[in-house]
């Protein structure tokens, strides 16, 4: 099981503050990491910011945006033999046009 915590920096305000863009981003990210989407919830804050979580059969993907700082704090947790969380991270970085990423990967165990 892999759990990747990552912060995307230098992202455009417009993308980070767009509820529909974030919804589609997480939907497509589940496909990129070969996971099974069970549910997807998105919340738009006022005056800005979006939080979303994709519940997966393999675990989850989450994003919390701070458009005013050009930043998104995210994680992807995946278990099983087919999921590729690294692909999700790269896809989200590209789609959000991040200029920098800080990432930490953890291998989780049930033991």
- Phi/psi for 92 (5° steps) reads -65, -40
**Distance between CA 87 and CA 16 in Å, rounded?**
20
Structure tokens at 110: 């049930």
Just list the catalytic residues.
59, 64, 79
């Amino acid at each position: 099981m892999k759990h990747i915590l990552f912060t995307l920096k230098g992202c455009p305000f417009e993308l980070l503050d767009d509820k529909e863009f974030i919804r589609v981003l997480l939907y497509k990210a589940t496909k990129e990491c070969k996971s099974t989407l069970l549910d997807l919830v998105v919340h738009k804050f006022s005056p800005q910011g979006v939080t979303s979580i994709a519940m997966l059969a393999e675990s989850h993907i989450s994003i919390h945006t701070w458009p005013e700082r050009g930043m998104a704090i995210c994680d992807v947790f995946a278990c099983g033999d087919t999921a590729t969380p690294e692909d999700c991270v790269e896809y989200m970085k590209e789609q959000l046009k991040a200029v920098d990423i800080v990432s930490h990967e953890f291998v989780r165990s049930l033991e």
